[in-house]
Structure 1
Amino acid sequence: METQTIRKIFTRDFILCFLAQFTFTFVFFNLIPTLPIYLSRLGSTEVEIGVLIGISAASSLVLRPFVGRALLKIPEKTFMIAGLLLVAFTSAAYLLAPPFWPFLIVRIFQGIGFALFSTASFTLIANISSKAHLGQSLGYFTLSFTLSGALAPPLGMFLINHFSFPILFLACSGLSLCSLLIIHPLGRRQVAPLQDSFTEDGLLFSRGALPPSILGFFPFFIWGALTAFFPLYAIHHGVTNPGFFFSTTAVVLILSRSLGGKILDLHNREKVILPCLMAYIISMVILAFSKTMPMFILVAVIYGIGPAFLTPALLAYALDRGGATGPTMGTFHAITDLGISLGPVIM
């Protein structure tokens, strides 16, 4: 039975989309610990760094509802290609864009690229997955983020410590183009005819998906603040490679989902969500008193338990309530992007 379930989940298109998302997300995680350092070395203030890091998610959240609505009529692959090309271009454009305003413009367009690709990729996975195994499918798919999160941050730090920031930015551009090659054989899924119940209100947002999306705002707010300021905080306390914090979090995510992926479909969504929120709270309390690498690793272990099940559980819960997949994904990612963008600015 388990083998049959795995075969139903890991189809050809699922694997291609997973590999493309992994390569694409590698760009995002390469930049997480490195961009704040880059901007700091160029003389940006903490406020400017917060704005420049957060603006990417802000531009992404504005576009996602429109992308979600458009996915009711346009195949996902079209948006994935557009997103990859945009991120490849903007990654290279960092070489020519000093802070503040030129860099801000590049970050805005890169956020648009992230919105195009990731909204379409999640929509594709939700559409090709069996409803009976939706939570498990989303859990496995989000491992693409986790794996890249484990490998990319320390690699990004290695590139800037042993080479230079231009090498980092060119590598990010190259990774985006590699992802483009991966999705080339991906089939263009036929868009199903719209049902009246999906379009009767004509809204960009899916009203049914709002409660789980709003709940997801808060942990993503924490994530946004961590990505912007933890690298600087860790370096201030003598840590040479803050990327290991994110890598530890990713390893915990991988182990948790690998060992407990079926939990997402066997138990009520609420029973999964509440313990995960407690992991966020406990880890942030400990982080407030942490100043050494062993303590940072402890925080990463506890923190990693939270998103291991919370993110796919909230996604599945949103899809359970939201109806049409495109608008539901657009709604969920727009609101969680709002959390990511406000985290660095407010904190």
Structure 2
Amino acid sequence: MSKRHPKLWTKDFIFVSGVNFFLTLVFYLLIVTIAVYAVDEYNASTSQAGLAAGIAIIGTLSGRLLIGRSVDQIGSKRVLVGGLILFTLTTLLYFLNLNLPFLLLTRFLHGLALGIASTACGTIVAQVIPAARKGEGIGYFSMSNTLSAALGPFIGIYMSQHASFQLIFVLCLVLGLFSLVAAFFVKQPLLAPLPASEETKGFKLSQFLEPKAVPIAIITLAISFCYSSVLSFINFYASEINLVNAASFFFIVYAAVILVTRPITGRLLDVKGANYVMYPAFLALAAGLLLLSTVNTGVTLLLSAALIGLGFGNMQSCTQAIAVKLTPPHRMGLATSTFFIFLDAGIGFGPYILGLIIPSTGYREMYVILSVFALATAVLYYFLHGKKEQAKITAA
């Protein structure tokens, strides 16, 4: 393999991508079923059931904040194995049918373990991908999230209709154990961290967030806020406009478009720079949200899914690649954690914020507003990163 085109599909890259896929598959599988479980088993109210689903995201954020500052010092593989052990142990807690507070605690701890393990996955991938293929490699790696986001809800909904919740938990346990075994086959490059006196002395915000990654993470927060409106409300919206059958294929189309385009956009990011991916993706996201606000047929609903996949799906991997490219190797773990903290915050808190305005706007007007918001974020991107990116290209 030439130095100009170093090998990407190494054993470590394949194994850690697989681990990440099964981790996030469990997350998405449970997030669509646990609310129903809370209602059926504990007579939870709607708000309590929603908390049972969403508190895992709070746990994930906590896990990233907890481990982000230490993952490079401890060692990303050690963090990965430790996170997966905790992930497997907390999966066992689902089998203890005690009460609703215990379920909420289980969900929080499960999310905490996911945050730790997935941060380690992202860090290892950033370390094993050759610098010349960083955008392409992260694009392929993030497909594991895309596939799990499409398959997890499908499997969860199907099993909740045809199997017991105990069987669902058994599947989650098996997937967790499989990930744990696979993690032992992963290696990562040995990186020399900065001396502790430089990295951890005193209390600094830079111990929890990577400053170089924050500007692009802000863009990630904004676009994931837009996407949260689709992830959380598409089924309610489809029911309102009588397109429930078409909506069942929404995320399949979304994932298919990403699978086709992400290898191309990842390579384009490495060769041409981030602006060549980001600006068209902003337009695609805005167009998809605007089209979503007007749909009356299944075809236009699925076309909006394709545009949103082309937009948000590719921006998600692009912004992650930018975050790690801007960061020194010894702080890649913190950069990865920073990226996911902002991503999770947008997806996790977006539905709550949007839920407050939907009674006043309705779904259609909400998607119009978010379309404009996506375009405004493109302007913000120019000032936070795009202008510097263009100057670098011009200077070269």
- Normalised TM-score (structure 1): 0.87
2:210–2:338 Cα contact (<8 Å) kept: yes
Task: Flag the 1:39–1:120 CA change in 2: closer, same or farther, 3 A.
Answer: same
Deviation at 1:329, TM superposition (A): 1.1
Deviation at 1:170, TM superposition (A): 1.8
Aligned-partner residue type, residue 32 of structure 2: P
Post-superposition Cα deviations, 1:210-257, rounded to whole Å, max 9, x if no partner, equal 110011012222344443443455466473696532222111110111
- Secondary structure in 2 matching 1:322: coil
Aligned partners of 1:191, 1:89: CA distance in 2, in Å? 30
1:94–1:169 Cα contact (<8 Å) kept: yes
Deviation at 1:273, TM superposition (A): 1.7
Deviation at 1:197, TM superposition (A): 11
Q: Paired residue for 2:21?
A: 22
Larger Rg: 2
Q: Paired residue for 1:336?
A: 343
Aligned-partner residue type, residue 54 of structure 2: G
1:54–1:340 Cα contact (<8 Å) kept: no
Q: Paired residue for 1:122?
A: 122
Q: Paired residue for 2:171?
A: 171
Post-superposition Cα deviations, 1:141-161, rounded to whole Å, max 9, x if no partner, equal 111112233333322222122
- Secondary structure in 1 matching 2:69: helix
Unaligned 5+ runs, structure 2: 356-396
- Secondary structure in 2 matching 1:73: helix
- Secondary structure in 1 matching 2:244: coil
Q: Paired residue for 1:8?
A: 7
Once the two structures are overlaid, the 10-residue window that deviates more, 26-35 or 195-204, is 195-204
Task: Flag the 1:134–1:243 CA change in 2: closer, same or farther, 3 A.
Answer: same
Aligned partners of 1:292, 1:174: CA distance in 2, in Å? 40
2:213–2:327 Cα contact (<8 Å) kept: yes
Q: Paired residue for 2:302?
A: 297
Aligned-partner residue type, residue 329 of structure 1: T
1:92–1:173 Cα contact (<8 Å) kept: yes
Deviation at 1:259, TM superposition (A): 3.9
Aligned partners of 2:299, 2:159: CA distance in 1, in Å? 24
How much is the aligned-residue C-alpha RMSD, in angstroms? 3.0
Q: Paired residue for 1:94?
A: 94
Aligned-partner residue type, residue 339 of structure 2: F
1:225-264 matches, within 5 Å, as: 225-234=229-238, 237=242, 239=244, 244-264=249-269
Q: Percent identity?
A: 29
1:1-347 matches, within 5 Å, as: 5=5, 8-39=7-38, 44-96=44-96, 100-187=100-187, 189-194=189-194, 199=199, 203-234=207-238, 237=242, 239=244, 244-290=249-295, 293-323=298-328, 324-346=331-353, 347=355
Whose relative contact order is higher, 1 or 2, with alpha carbons under 8 Å and at least 6 apart?
1
Deviation at 1:328, TM superposition (A): 0.9
Unaligned 5+ runs, structure 1: none
Aligned-partner residue type, residue 282 of structure 1: A
- Normalised TM-score (structure 2): 0.77
User: Aligned residue pairs: how many?
Assistant: 346
Post-superposition Cα deviations, 1:49-78, rounded to whole Å, max 9, x if no partner, equal 443333222222233133121112112122
Aligned partners of 2:192, 2:103: CA distance in 1, in Å? 40
Aligned-partner residue type, residue 211 of structure 1: P
